[in-house]
Structure 1
Amino acid sequence: MPKIDARLPKGMRDFLPEEVLKRQYVFGVITDVFKTFGFEPIETPVLEMEDTLLGKYGDEAEKLIFHAQHPGGKEELALRYDLTVPLSRYVSMHENDLSFPFRRYHIAPVWRAERPQKGRYREFYQCDADIVGIEDPSADAEIVSLVTTALRRLGFADFKVNVNHRQILTGIGIYAGVPDAQLGDLYRSVDKLDKIGIDGVAAELRESGIAEDAIARMFTLLERREGGAESLGWLRELLAGIEPAQKGIADLEQMVEYLNVMGVPQENVQIDYAMVRGLSYYTGPIFETVITKPDNLGSVTGGGRYDELVGLFRKQSLATTGTSLGVERIIDLMDKLDLYPPALTGTVVEALVTVFEPGLQGETLKLANELRAGGVRTEAFMQPKKSIGKQVQYADRKGVRVVAFLGSEEIKNGVVNFKRLSDGTEISAPRAEAVQAVRSLLSE
């Protein structure tokens, strides 16, 4: 057969073992937080019916959906774009088996046909948590509390959860005098404020045909876009008489009260009237988290309330709110900020049992199995012709912390010698106490 070039599709990645271990550490911390808040795990297929996904995200997002078809197949399929729409389909299909309110978490890959670039991939993992069946802003506050808890447990200290409300955005459009038909253009442009600046947003709005006086009124408001809970009082007066805005302000005021009760640090939450969240299915509070130091390192979580999405799959909708943690960016930032624990090495192996000569390979395997039975993750070296020095070098390069030596003399005397590679500490222990010896070296 002809040789095949080893290559990957654009935007897809392989991961080395040390990279996978870091990813598993992050997934593990986030999973533990999800469980701490009482969320249950679910799984859904990577493929959904095409009509399940289409019409839910907005035109720009749906250009990124991967469509799939198997030869001769009659079903029109697509790779899932996120974990939110599949949740809505899942709830409608399994509602008789679920207890409401339903708290779910889901950690799985999704696919988007984006232009690959640093930090943006075509296949990536999402970590989602959602509460289905609660209309009260307490559910939205719980999601924000979950986000701050997860980021702090991962080691992040300097971040902001920016909070807004879709009905406040509607009210801002009404205040500015933007016709309903142009509100979509308004939101799409304002959503780019951090990327293209106020002049760029103004230029886009003019191209969309939005009047100059409406643009001016918009920017009078957006110049005061960020603030704490106290800014809601100013906004309430400014948008007096605009019913959607008043509803949104009341929701956020209630959210802030709940966040204070739950002890969420005020420095980690702020109101931002220019934060839009691009997906069209949001209906209420929306959230987006940005790492603020050492620099503004971009968004790491996003989410919000989408009370009408489940209703597309059943007779009556169910109030739903949730978040997605951008785990790929979180992993990259943890590398950049050196947030991984020192004990996290590039291998799962805790101990390596060396082999002195071919005739002792069986004893090497036997000791390795004894250590494994005691809960020590152990590799048995299987190339007896390699020198002991080469075997130790292999262990060190791989990141193994403890090496076991079992030569003829040790076997005769019923002992095992161990060495911790990080500082050269050596101990000898009776064969029956080998597990305890390794544990003592690993614990220091």
Structure 2
Amino acid sequence: MSIQKPSLPKGTRDFGPAQMARRNYILDTIKATFRLYGYQQLETPSMENLSVLTGKYGDEGDQLLFKILNSGDFLKKVKEEDLGKGAAHVLPRVAEKGLRYDLTVPFARYVVMNRNDITFPFKRYQIQPVWRADRPQKGRYREFYQCDADVVGTDSLICETEILLMIRRVFAALDLKDYDIKINNRKILTGISSVIGEPGKEGELCVAIDKLDKIGWEKVQEELSQRGFEGEAIQKLTPIIDLKGSNNEKLAYLKEFLADSEEGLKGVSELEEVFTLLAEFGENQDHVDFDVVLARGLSYYTGAIFEVKVNHVSIGSVSGGGRYDNLTGVFGLEGVSGVGFSFGVDRIYDVLDELGLFPADDMHSTSVMIGYFDEKGRDYGLKVLNSLRKAGLSAEIYPDLSKVKKQFNYADKKQIPYVMMIGDNEIAEHKVALKNLKTGEQEMHTLEEAIGIIKAS
């Protein structure tokens, strides 16, 4: 019998115990903030009906959906003449379901299906894996986690303001200090498009200036002219690209620049209100950067748009989102306005790793291990072990009768900070020998004293 070499599907990975401890550190921090702001957790199935998924992400997105073959004889509905008509014709006959591509469309489906039971505004967060049949490359996987928070059923700008506060709270808790929350408003981009003489072309404008960071202004100008923008219009855009100053100075400049665009001025006043609300919260504008050319090429944003970048690291944006006016319209529920954003957990992981910000003490799960010399020591050790766990300490006993050196090696490799050795003396005196593996110090203590020392460390 040939031995099969184990392998993983391309674009997926395992998370070992050390990585899981670090991921949970990030996720627990994010969840605590979501809950503090009144968001409730939601989970939806890994698979959705293809009818729910297709047509929501554009043609390219449809290509990247993982389809699931029907169970049983998946070919039973396929006839020979169907095969000649190509994959697009055969697909609905062999696959009715697909793996979810993001968390937004399943959320919209959930809201529509449960609209009579939901209390609006509805605040939900969702942390689950999504799947995309993308070409795997560094930092891009076929299975990855998304971490979304949305509030639907209100157009109050308090929601946008709270998103800024949530991001700042999470980053403070993760000890990230050098970052920018870039904010803009889609209405401002619509207004800019109009006043430079290219009304209705904000979509093309957004796609082009979204690349400003990557390709620079010269190349963006070339792309705009290829997309049919007049030279004069591109010239009028130049002062916007170079706009500097504080958030309030930029807003003042745009009030004049967009004087002829009602839509553009509405975007400016919405942003002004967000900054006013921030002050009403008793908060400042630290880390919040009004970026007039922030576009995020997604077509469904209608108001505020966000993007978070950590500075001086090799990774791009780690969070983003925005306001949308008709998330559920595609499922027949019109006029549900919402705003949402997501944290890129994998990217935040890489940033914390690069900056060395993971706390060392969060990474070992066991606080103390019990070692022993013989069966008598082991049996006594089991009672001690039970007491340790009842005291709320994460504890384990070395399960096999082995040389003491082997027991200590195990504790060392698992980075367990304390070992309690049990021998005849300890049993006779009702004490334990507590060894600190970092300092090498070993002392006799009562169990209560030992528990106090471990908890205090």
TM-score, normalised relative to structure 1:
0.92
1:410 corresponds, among 413, 426, 435, to 426
Q: Distance in 2 between matches of 1:384 and 1:416?
A: 18
Contact persistence 1:111–1:124 (CA under 8 A): yes
SS at match of 2:319: strand
Report matched runs for 1:23-102 at 5 Å: 23-71=23-71, 72=73, 76-102=96-122
Corresponding position of 2:247: 228
1:328 corresponds, among 331, 334, 346, to 346
Q: Distance in 2 between matches of 1:289 and 1:51?
A: 33
Corresponding position of 2:8: 8
1:248 corresponds, among 244, 267, 272, to 267
Does residue 211 (structure 1) correspond to residue 230 (structure 2)? The answer is yes
Q: Distance in 2 between matches of 1:140 and 1:52?
A: 28
Corresponding position of 1:380: 397
CA spacing shift, 1:212–1:222, aligned 2, 3 Å: same
Q: Distance in 1 between matches of 2:192 and 2:65?
A: 31
Report the CA distance between 1:395 and its aligned residue.
0.6
Contact persistence 1:290–1:296 (CA under 8 A): no
Report matched runs for 1:11-410 at 5 Å: 11-71=11-71, 72=73, 76-178=96-198, 180=200, 182-224=201-243, 227-292=246-311, 294-295=312-313, 297-345=315-363, 347-358=364-375, 360-385=377-402, 387-410=403-426
Report the CA distance between 1:178 and its aligned residue.
2.6
Report the CA distance between 1:82 and its aligned residue.
1.8
Contact persistence 2:189–2:202 (CA under 8 A): no
Contact persistence 2:190–2:199 (CA under 8 A): no
Report the CA distance between 1:210 and its aligned residue.
2.8
Q: Distance in 2 between matches of 1:153 and 1:96?
A: 37
CA spacing shift, 1:190–1:58, aligned 2, 3 Å: farther
CA spacing shift, 1:217–1:67, aligned 2, 3 Å: farther
CA offsets per residue over residues 46-70 of structure 1, 9 Å max, x none?
1122232333334455543333333
SS at match of 1:315: coil
SS at match of 1:200: helix
Report the CA distance between 1:297 and its aligned residue.
4.2
Q: Distance in 1 between matches of 2:419 and 2:116?
A: 55
Corresponding position of 1:438: 451
Q: Distance in 1 between matches of 2:101 and 2:245?
A: 31
Q: Distance in 1 between matches of 2:296 and 2:373?
A: 62
SS at match of 2:129: strand
SS at match of 1:213: helix
CA spacing shift, 1:227–1:11, aligned 2, 3 Å: farther
Contact persistence 1:364–1:381 (CA under 8 A): no
CA offsets per residue over residues 163-186 of structure 1, 9 Å max, x none?
111111111112222353x54332
CA spacing shift, 1:263–1:13, aligned 2, 3 Å: farther
Q: Distance in 2 between matches of 1:270 and 1:339?
A: 24
Contact persistence 1:61–1:279 (CA under 8 A): no
Q: Which runs of 5+ in 2 are unaligned?
A: 75-92
Q: Distance in 2 between matches of 1:218 and 1:112?
A: 36
Letter of the 1:218 partner, please give it.
Answer: L
CA spacing shift, 1:89–1:264, aligned 2, 3 Å: farther
Q: Distance in 1 between matches of 2:2 and 2:419?
A: 43
Q: Distance in 2 between matches of 1:399 and 1:205?
A: 57
What is the aligned residue count?
437
Contact persistence 1:402–1:438 (CA under 8 A): no
Identity of aligned residues (%): 39
TM-score, normalised relative to structure 2:
0.89
Report the CA distance between 1:157 and its aligned residue.
1.2
Q: Say which is worse superposed, 132-141 or 282-291, in terms of deviation.
A: 132-141
CA offsets per residue over residues 358-381 of structure 1, 9 Å max, x none?
554333333322322222111110
Report the CA distance between 1:17 and its aligned residue.
0.7
CA spacing shift, 1:134–1:160, aligned 2, 3 Å: same
SS at match of 1:96: coil
Q: Which runs of 5+ in 1 are unaligned?
A: none
